[in-house]
């Protein structure tokens, strides 16, 4: 990357080389002569994942030194920190993750009767980190709090000058080229009853043991600049621990083809899922902020420029309850769907950018619809509508460990409509 001319800022530039090698073998089996017939498969998958990333450590801007008087005081008290501001960004290449895993799987289907099946599955799985999270990038920030001659008065170069430095804080937004994939051990048990030619009921249980969970956290990051070591309060993704997700699912699907005439095209789908998260302790309380210092070089522990270290937070994006109801109509050349989706509250982010608080999305439901008409075997035309109820996404900030919340931002997603023409060849 050196020598290239680019119109992008250094923090927007990175180069990653990701190499994945996978090998998979599977064997199928069937025991049709048993009192309860069994069929299934067993498999083994080997995965190797390697990452190399080139990117920049971006230094704080020169303006972060503060006013001329503040900059002079900073240079006298913290010369190494003073030199960081406005210095050239550092380009480096990191040999990051080199990860190997062997992942077994087993799937079995038990034919209890012609209409009743029980399925069991056990497997190990991976979720790869994104290139955004694994790129080699550090963006440094500098916050200088000057000490005034009279702290009760506003600053003035003549009447109330800067006489020293009250505190200095180095912070950083960092990605992590050493991230490993998230790992899971999965168990699934479902019972399926096909009570009609176009009707079924399914009840399922699932249990997932998670490890190497990727979450953003705060940590101390040290680096060397011009021979001086600096400690930075960094924030970015890391493999942070383990936990369990388990739950149950119920689904029902049927077309009422026993009804006469055009009524036989009516149908209904219903799905409900309950999830329980256990042991997914948020790691952000494990490392207290230690990179804010007073004039004596002693660390200051407060909430400024630091993560609010609340424990007991769930995984991002997981609602405890999810519900889907779909009304269907399929008759001759007409196809219609009316779908309502609802989910309980869930964690949007561990930290928003202003108050450094966790943000939750409130429970909400949305309705979508589609209507299509088949002109012939090849062409169909239709109209689709999304968010027909005009549902807003409303959020809340969590303000303390006890779970006190306050209303935050709301996001409006307009109802949208689209005309569509489809062709199948």
For 363-410, the DSSP string reads: PEEEEEEEEEEESSSSEEEEEEEE-TT--EEEEEEE-STT--EEEEEE
Q: How far out from the chain centre does Cα 259 lie?
A: 46
Sign of dihedral through CA atoms 197, 202, 208, 213? positive
Q: Is 212 left (phi over 0), alpha (psi -120 to 50) or beta?
A: left
What gap in Å lies between CA 129 and CA 99, rounded to an integer? 12
The domain segmentation of the chain, as residue ranges, is 318-425
Nearest of 203, 74, 205, 53 to residue 138 by alpha carbon: 53
Question: What does the pLDDT read at residue 299?
Answer: 47
Asked if 57 contacts 92 with a C-beta cutoff of 8 angstroms, the reply is: yes
| DSSP, res 414 | -
Kind of pairing, strands 38-58 and 138-148? parallel
What is the DSSP annotation of 235-284? EEEEE---EEEEEEEEEEEEE-TTS-GGGGGEEEEEEEEEEEEES---GG
Q: How many C-beta atoms lie closer than 10 Å to residue 286's C-beta?
A: 14
The pair of three-digit structure tokens given for residue 184, joined into one six-digit string: 């899971």
Nearest of 171, 149, 169 to residue 159 by alpha carbon: 149
Residues of the chain with pLDDT under 70: 1-11, 281-309, 353-355
Query: What proportions of the chain, in percent to the nearest 5, are helix, strand and coil?
Result: 10, 60, 30
DSSP 3-state assignment of 68? helix
The pair of three-digit structure tokens given for residue 147, joined into one six-digit string: 């000490």
Residues 6+ apart with CB under 8 A from 182: 126, 127, 129, 210, 211, 212, 213, 214, 239
Question: What does the pLDDT read at residue 2?
Answer: 53
| DSSP, res 297 | S
Question: What does the pLDDT read at residue 8?
Answer: 64
Asked if 242 contacts 211 with a C-beta cutoff of 8 angstroms, the reply is: yes
Question: What does the pLDDT read at residue 118?
Answer: 98
Nearest of 21, 38, 19, 18 to residue 30 by alpha carbon: 38
Asked if 156 contacts 197 with a C-beta cutoff of 8 angstroms, the reply is: no
What gap in Å lies between CA 43 and CA 106, rounded to an integer? 6
Q: How far out from the chain centre does Cα 81 lie?
A: 34
């Amino acid at each position: 990357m050196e020598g290239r001319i680019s119109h992008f800022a250094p923090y927007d530039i990175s180069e990653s080389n990701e190499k994945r090698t996978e090998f998979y073998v599977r064997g199928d089996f069937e025991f049709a002569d048993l009192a309860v017939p069994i069929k299934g498969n067993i498999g083994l998958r080997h995965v190797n994942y390697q990452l190399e990333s080139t990117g920049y450590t971006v230094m704080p801007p020169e303006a972060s030194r503060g006013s001329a008087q503040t900059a002079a005081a900073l240079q006298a008290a913290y010369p190494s920190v003073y030199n960081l501001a406005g210095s050239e960004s550092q380009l480096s290449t990191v040999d990051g993750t080199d990860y190997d895993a062997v992942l077994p799987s087993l799937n079995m289907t038990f034919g209890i009767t012609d209409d009743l099946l029980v399925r069991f599955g056990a497997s190990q799985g991976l979720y790869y980190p994104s290139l955004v999270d694994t790129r080699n990038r550090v963006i440094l920030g500098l916050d200088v709090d000057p000490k005034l001659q009279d702290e009760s008065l506003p600053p003035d170069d003549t009447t109330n000058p800067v006489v020293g430095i009250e505190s200095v804080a180095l912070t950083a937004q960092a990605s992590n080229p050493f991230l490993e994939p998230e790992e899971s051990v999965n168990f699934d048990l479902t019972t399926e009853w096909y009570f009609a030619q176009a009707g079924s009921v399914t009840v399922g249980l699932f249990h997932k043991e998670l490890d190497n969970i990727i979450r953003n956290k705060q940590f101390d990051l040290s680096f060397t600049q011009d021979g001086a070591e600096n400690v930075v309060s960094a924030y970015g993704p890391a493999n942070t621990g383990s936990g369990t997700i388990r739950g149950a699912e119920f689904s029902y699907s049927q077309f009422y083809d026993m009804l006469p005439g055009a009524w036989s095209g009516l149908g209904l789908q219903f799905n409900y899922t309950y999830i329980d998260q256990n042991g997914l302790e948020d790691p952000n309380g494990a490392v207290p902020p230690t990179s804010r210092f007073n004039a004596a070089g002693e660390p200051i522990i407060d909430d400024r420029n630091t993560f609010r270290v609340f424990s007991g937070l769930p995984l991002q994006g997981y609602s405890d309850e999810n519900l889907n109801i779909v009304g269907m109509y399929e008759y001759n050349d007409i196809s219609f769907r009316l779908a309502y989706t609802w989910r309980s509250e869930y964690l949007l982010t561990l930290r928003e950018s202003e108050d450094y608080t966790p943000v939750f999305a409130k429970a909400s439901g949305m309705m979508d619809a589609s209507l299509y008409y088949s002109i012939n075997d090849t062409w169909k035309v239709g109209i689709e509508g999304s968010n027909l109820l005009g549902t807003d996404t409303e959020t809340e900030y969590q303000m303390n460990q006890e779970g006190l919340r306050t209303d935050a931002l709301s996001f409006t997603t307009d109802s949208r409509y689209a005309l569509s023409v489809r062709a199948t060849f």
